[in-house]
A and B are shown apart, each in its own frame.
Chain A
Amino acid sequence: MNEKKLTGKGLPKEVSIILILLGICLLFEILGWIVKGDTFLFNFGRIKLMILQMSVIGIIAIGVTQIIITGGIDLSSGSVVAFVAVVAASFAQSANATRPYFANLEGTFPVFVPVIIGIGLGGLCGFINGFLIAKTHIPPFIATLGMMVSARGFAQLYTEGKPVSMLNDSYLMLGSGIMPVLIYLLMALIAHILLTQTKYGKYVYAIGGNQHAAVVSGINVTKYKIMIYTYAGLLSGLAGVVLCARVNSGQASMGVMFELDAIASAVIGGTSLDIGGIGTIGGTIIGSLVLGVVKSGFIFLGVNAYIQEIIKGAIIIGAVVLDVMRNKGKSK
């Protein structure tokens, strides 16, 4: 018998997405010189702002990617961000806040209190999503749609529609400078390792690849689905914590459409909405970058904000069309 070496891996799919990203950068650079007579890429301030802005959605997208890999969807992340932001902000107000939530409190809570409460609240929302999906077998679309509406409602109820402002300095540290970017990259690294180097990751791909086969292979699909949605909820919670620290305020109107940007990041980055079991964290980071560059580029060129939205919609559709075409003929 001839012993074969079977380790050739071939080029990863991310390469093609990186090429698309570079193409878009180049396009804006050229347009920049034509329209504005200025550089797009070689402006440190702009790039820094762009990466800062994508961090919050990037953190959400890490969880959403895993959910989409299992064949699910999470529409609730934007609302969960808002809910967490207002609650965390209320625990992080400075001692001299004009409208304090905890008026009887001497001084402020230590910084870990709002952080733990915020992340925990996000995790609770995710757990409820996962529990409903895994135990009652309602479609993820419906379960998370319900959470999307309810979490936003909770946020409004909690704040009575008013912003929760004047946060204390130690909490604001979480959102200052490149802190959000560092948190984002750390979360991405952890998720990447979980997905590629642990049993958890293997099970995520297996559940997405064929749920029925996953059951027969001994995977406790119910348990893992709850875990996956809870994990995504924890990440949405963290995103809410970082967001209110970054803007020094928690508002019930925050995070609107964040879920769609997160889903779009995953899909542009090669996570398949069409068939489960396909997607990587690396791809999603690049997907987030694509969205960030497009947004930043349009602002740079002075494109009307409404037109920006229209084009963003077209990009998302384009990414899904590419995905469906890639999977054509497979797994019928």
Chain B
Amino acid sequence: MEYILEMTDIRKEFPGVLALDDIQFKVRPGTVHALMGENGAGKSTLMKIIMGIYKADKGTVLVKGEKAHIFNTKTAFAHGISMIHQELSPVPHMTVSENIWLGREFKKGFFVDHSMMREKTVELLEHLELDINPDQKMVNLSVAQTQMVEIAKAISYDSELIIMDEPTSAITEKEVNHLFKIINELRSKNIAIIYITHKMDEVFEISDEVSVFRDGKYIGTEAADNMTKDKLVSWMVGRELSQVFHKEQAEIGDVILEVRNLSSGDRFRNVSFQLKAGEILGIAGLMGAGRSEVVETIFGVREKTSGEVFVKGEKVNIRAPHDAIRHKIALLTEDRKLSGLFLPLTVKENMEIVSIDRYIRGGFISHAQIVSDCEDQVNKLAIKTPSLYQITDNLSGGNQQKVLISKWLLNAPDILILDEPTRGIDVGAKAEIHKLMTKLVQAGKAVIMISSEMPEVLGMSDRVLVMHEGDLVGELNREEADQEKILMLASGEKLN
């Protein structure tokens, strides 16, 4: 058996979008197969077809050389296929062992056999060398631990193929190493892994083979040893990237925003900093350091318990986002689905909402003006959408992010706060957003950028603030900032 999974000529069409255009995809047993591609390339759609969540319009799926009809996740499990989703969804108030055996509990007569279940869980966790208490409730586990439990669960189905969708997007460096150890372990037990990621380093570190999709088309597969970074990038974007970060120095002007001793409950304390026109101010830190909370408080989403905010030298009292918007501040939130997009509404409706006041003539909306401004944004940011009246739920992640940025740009803000502006976004869209940030500061605007990606922080920021557990612990100039210093500060260490 050469392949554990063979997918040929898979086609899937959604209204207005050809998501998969006769895709080929083959995975060898006992290998890690990295799957890369920009957002909207069709990776998620293909995975959903493998798991039986979507039905392909045409094409064949062979599992272990035999034709497979996978029409729901249950049949996928039965074929030895399982998936660790990017957004984990455990039952938070049930224990580790209850979560693993959810829906297929061991029974003694009519009742659940808890001791048996626990025993099996301990066995499973030991097998994977996981240091997790089987009686712990899921809600008390870290993201990485939750992920490990999901992997244990996948193994418990006797899976021979495990799909991992961006497993490292929310875990720390150390946890990544642990994950890779487990992946290697699984590989040695002849379990195949489809590894979806946006991070190129990981591909070379962990995978045996790489496949690349672009715009719903299959581009190619190559052994990881024969792959180069340049080749991978050109496969993904269809062009060679000359330079990863589009940083050009802009002229630094006056202080446009100043924060003095800002606190919000126990989330962060006494944060003070200045932001100048023409500047990109990076905020680095580990998850839970309080970075998002600081900008949410400045913007009026979160209540401040003490401190002052000054815009252009004047003290302002921002109690709700509309106050912040009046002071020409914009906030691109971290979670675009939760607090960014109006998913059931159209591209136009999403874009116009903040600046609607500017389009009102005698009480009525001037739709023609909005349409022309929105079209302008679509063209400038190269947003891929069939029309302004497309429902944003149907767009890919990168394009959704661009719609959100357009929403704020239409209101011509002076201060843009971008919280993880390129998270989960492909290389091409990422570079476009970076270019846009440069353009904005060159036009005299100021940008605050929160990012968990070190290269992005170092590549784009003029200055870097570092936070650790609610405290602002350091400030570094572009010249002095490097990966080691930021990591030291972010982990609560002092710089020598």
Interface residues of A (CB under 8 A from B): 1, 3-10, 193, 197-199, 202-203, 205-206, 208-210, 212-220, 272, 275-278, 330-331
Contact = CB atoms under 8 A, between A and B. Distances in A.
Contacts of B342: 205-206, 209-210, 213-214, 277
Contact of A216 (B339, B349, B385, B389): B339
B476 to A, nearest CB: 29
Given A6-B387, A331-B393, A198 B407 contact: no
Given A6-B378, A8-B386, A197-B365, A202 B356 contact: yes
A198 B341 contact: no
A interface: dominant SS: loop
B356 A199 contact: yes
Size band of the interface chain B makes with A: 35 or more
A330 B385 contact: no
A203 B356 CA distance: 10
A7 B371 contact: yes
Nearest to A208: B344
Contact of A4 (B325, B338, B378): B378
B343 A216 contact: no
Contacts of A210: 339-343
B241 interface: no
Contacts of B113: none
A37 to B, nearest CB: 46
A132 B385 CA distance: 40
Contacts of B353: 202-203, 206, 214, 217, 219
Contacts of A277: 342, 344-345
Contacts of B391: 330
Contacts of B356: 199, 202
Interface string B344-361: 110001001110110010
A105 B342 CA distance: 55
A199 B301 contact: no
11 contacts: A7-B388, A197-B367, A199-B356, A199-B365, A205-B342, A210-B341, A215-B301, A217-B325, A272-B344, A275-B344, A276-B344
A13 B365 CA distance: 23
A7 B299 CA distance: 34
Contact of A209 (B322, B343, B364, B385): B343
Nearest to B342: A209
B352 A216 contact: no
B106 to A, nearest CB: 31
A6 B375 contact: yes
B365 A216 contact: no
Most buried by A among B299, B342, B354: B342
